[in-house]
């Protein structure tokens, strides 16, 4: 349960500063788009072949670009216009960029959240035990953490994926499953001249949408194995400072066991920095997943990083292919970091409230 003091600090900081409002608004928009992707997407994100009559990818709505096509053995310059059916254009293989951006948000958020939860589950008990017991236990456990820190995160992630392989997990899409039996809705067909409904038309609004969410299982686990050490170090530092507090000594004098002290006294009082770190690490894992997808190790093509790699070769002629997912990554990372800054400013008593910016 959140205490009244913590709730009051969060509320006051949210009211005083503009940045938390921006972060929460951005994050809510991204989460909404990811959750309701099957309803918001205009096309099947995996379907290819959305080209114009000349076999060229569509640009975003309201734009056009010049290119050359072969006609009768000669190259002829043509202007490719946009279409209302693809608001953000199509990519190099004719897939709808807007729909793929929505589904890419799902993968990034799922990997980010699950990766952090796994990292917390590994790192926090590890660090609390090391800091609380100290001595040889602390030295032995933290040397393991130091070994993990010796390897760059991306290099270690690539090595682990090379060992375990790519293992995407297909999870049934709850929206598609929920509405599959009654996915048809009846809408009135309006006569433009009269302005009145003249008939009822049944529309299958989930037709063609993927029935499962491809989650990069290996990438999620690898993200946790790469980042758990940061939670261990933070938890260790908190345990080292808290184990000498009077209430811990009082619990020991009443015969409380060490596991009970860790669970009821050390852990609850260590949550503030862990929550702040967890929020920031979501953004780190989103970037890590995008990097692995860019290098072709994600295990799924519905990823922002994969889309950036696909658009790299046509960045001059069709920049939207890489720019749209790049903007998605940027907004997601900014939103999560602003949320982490909000938690830090509100929960950390060492932060000076007079120097917090906007």
Say whether both 198 and 244 belong to one domain.
no
Whole-number pLDDT of residue 203: 42
Say whether both 95 and 199 belong to one domain.
no
Say whether both 311 and 192 belong to one domain.
no
Using CA atoms, how far apart are residues 40 and 23, in angstroms rounded to an integer?
A: 22
Interval 88-97 mean pLDDT: 90
Residue 71 covered by a domain: no
Residue 106 covered by a domain: yes
pLDDT band at 2 (very low <50, low <70, confident <90, very high): low
Q: Is the pLDDT of residue 316 over 90?
A: no
Residue 56 covered by a domain: no
What's the CATH code of the domain at 13? 1.10.3720.10
Whole-number pLDDT of residue 196: 45
Q: Is the pLDDT of residue 4 over 80?
A: no
Comparing C-alpha atoms, which of 150, 117, 125 is closest to residue 220? 117
Whole-number pLDDT of residue 182: 52
Whole-number pLDDT of residue 351: 57
pLDDT band at 296 (very low <50, low <70, confident <90, very high): confident
Say whether both 44 and 131 belong to one domain.
yes
Residue 341 covered by a domain: yes
Of residues 193 and 304, the one with the higher pLDDT is 304
Whole-number pLDDT of residue 210: 79
Distances from the Cα of 327 to the Cα of 38, 99, 319, 320, 322, angstroms: 21, 15, 12, 10, 9
Of residues 198 and 152, the one with the higher pLDDT is 152
Say whether both 292 and 186 belong to one domain.
no
Whole-number pLDDT of residue 205: 54
Whole-number pLDDT of residue 192: 43
Domain that holds residue 101: 4-50+85-173+211-355
Say whether both 168 and 188 belong to one domain.
no
Q: Is the pLDDT of residue 333 over 70?
A: yes
pLDDT band at 3 (very low <50, low <70, confident <90, very high): low
Q: Are 288 and 157 in contact (CB under 8 A)?
A: yes
pLDDT band at 249 (very low <50, low <70, confident <90, very high): confident
Interval 151-178 mean pLDDT: 82
Final residue before a domain boundary, out of 155, 184, 208: 208
For tokens 């790192």, name the residue.
123
Q: Please, what is the average pLDDT of the chain?
A: 84
Interval 58-84 mean pLDDT: 83
Q: Is the pLDDT of residue 183 over 80?
A: no
Burial of 72: CB neighbours in 10 Å, binned 0-12, 13-18, 19+: exposed
Residue 74 covered by a domain: no
For tokens 């940027």, name the residue.
330
Say whether both 106 and 218 belong to one domain.
yes
Comparing C-alpha atoms, which of 215, 213, 210 is closest to residue 96? 210
Residue 340: count other Cβ atoms within 10 Å of its Cβ.
Answer: 20
In the chain, the percentage of residues whose pLDDT exceeds 90 is: 34
Phi and psi at 218, nearest 5°, equal -65, -40
Using CA atoms, how far apart are residues 4 and 136, in angstroms rounded to an integer?
A: 39
Q: Is the pLDDT of residue 216 over 50?
A: yes
Whole-number pLDDT of residue 195: 46
Using CA atoms, how far apart are residues 342 and 336, in angstroms rounded to an integer?
A: 10
Q: Are 228 and 123 in contact (CB under 8 A)?
A: yes
Final residue before a domain boundary, out of 183, 208, 233: 208
Residue 281: count other Cβ atoms within 10 Å of its Cβ.
Answer: 25
**Two tokens at 207?**
């037709």
Q: Kindly give, in sequence order, each residue whose CB lies less than 8 Å from that of residue 99, ignoring residues fewer than 6 positions away.
A: 37, 41, 42, 43, 44, 45
Final residue before a domain boundary, out of 191, 208, 225: 208
For tokens 């509405």, name the residue.
179
Burial of 234: CB neighbours in 10 Å, binned 0-12, 13-18, 19+: buried
Whole-number pLDDT of residue 201: 41
Whole-number pLDDT of residue 202: 41
Comparing C-alpha atoms, which of 143, 144, 137, 127 is closest to residue 236? 127
Say whether both 232 and 181 belong to one domain.
no
Whole-number pLDDT of residue 290: 92
In the chain, the percentage of residues whose pLDDT exceeds 70 is: 88
Say whether both 312 and 196 belong to one domain.
no
Using CA atoms, how far apart are residues 258 and 312, in angstroms rounded to an integer?
A: 55
Residue 59 covered by a domain: no
Q: What is the pLDDT of residues 136-149, one digit of tens each?
A: 998 998 898 888 88
Q: Is the pLDDT of residue 337 over 90?
A: yes
Residue 79 covered by a domain: no
Say whether both 314 and 197 belong to one domain.
no
Phi and psi at 186, nearest 5°, equal -105, 120
Say whether both 220 and 252 belong to one domain.
yes
Residue 229 covered by a domain: yes
Q: Is the pLDDT of residue 187 over 60?
A: no
Comparing C-alpha atoms, which of 336, 351, 349, 328 is closest to residue 107? 328
Q: Is the pLDDT of residue 111 over 90?
A: yes
Number of independent structural domains in the chain: 2
Q: Kindly give, in sequence order, each residue whose CB lies less than 8 Å from that of residue 25, ignoring residues fewer than 6 positions away.
A: none
**If you average pLDDT over each of 35-39, 42-46, 111-115, 158-162, which comes out highest?**
111-115
Say whether both 24 and 43 belong to one domain.
yes
């Amino acid at each position: 349960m959140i205490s009244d003091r913590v709730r009051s600090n969060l509320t006051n900081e949210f009211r005083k500063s503009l940045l938390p409002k921006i972060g929460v608004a951005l994050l809510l928009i991204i989460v909404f788009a990811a959750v309701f992707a099957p309803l918001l997407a205009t096309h099947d994100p995996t379907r290819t072949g959305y080209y114009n009559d000349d076999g060229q990818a569509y640009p975003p709505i309201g734009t056009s670009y010049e290119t050359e096509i072969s006609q009768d053995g000669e190259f002829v310059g043509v202007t490719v216009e946009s279409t209302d059916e693809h608001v953000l254009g199509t990519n190099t293989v004719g897939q709808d960029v807007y729909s793929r951006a929505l589904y890419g948000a799902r993968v990034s958020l799922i990997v980010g959240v699950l990766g952090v939860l796994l990292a917390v589950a590994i790192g926090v008990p590890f660090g609390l035990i090391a800091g609380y017991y100290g001595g040889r236990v602390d030295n032995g456990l933290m040397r393991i953490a130091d070994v993990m820190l010796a390897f760059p995160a991306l290099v270690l992630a690539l090595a682990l994926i090379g060992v375990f392989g790519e293992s995407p997990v297909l999870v049934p899409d709850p929206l598609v499953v929920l509405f599959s039996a009654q996915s048809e809705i009846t809408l009135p067909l309006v006569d433009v001249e009269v302005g009145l409904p003249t008939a009822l038309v049944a529309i299958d609004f989930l037709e063609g949408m993927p029935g499962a969410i491809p989650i990069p299982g290996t990438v999620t686990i690898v993200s946790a194995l790469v980042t758990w050490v940061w939670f261990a170090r933070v938890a260790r530092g908190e345990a080292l400072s808290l184990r000498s507090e009077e209430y811990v000594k009082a619990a020991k004098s009443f015969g409380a066991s060490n596991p009970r002290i860790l669970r009821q006294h050390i852990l609850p009082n260590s949550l503030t920095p862990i929550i702040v770190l967890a929020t920031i690490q979501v953004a780190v894992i989103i970037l890590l997943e995008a990097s692995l997808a860019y290098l072709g190790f994600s295990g799924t093509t519905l990823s922002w990083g994969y889309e950036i790699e696909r658009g790299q070769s046509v960045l001059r002629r069709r920049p939207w292919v890489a720019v749209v997912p790049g903007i998605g990554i940027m907004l997601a990372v900014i939103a999560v970091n602003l949320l982490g800054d909000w938690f830090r400013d509100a929960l950390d008593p060492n932060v000076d409230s007079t120097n917090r910016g906007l």
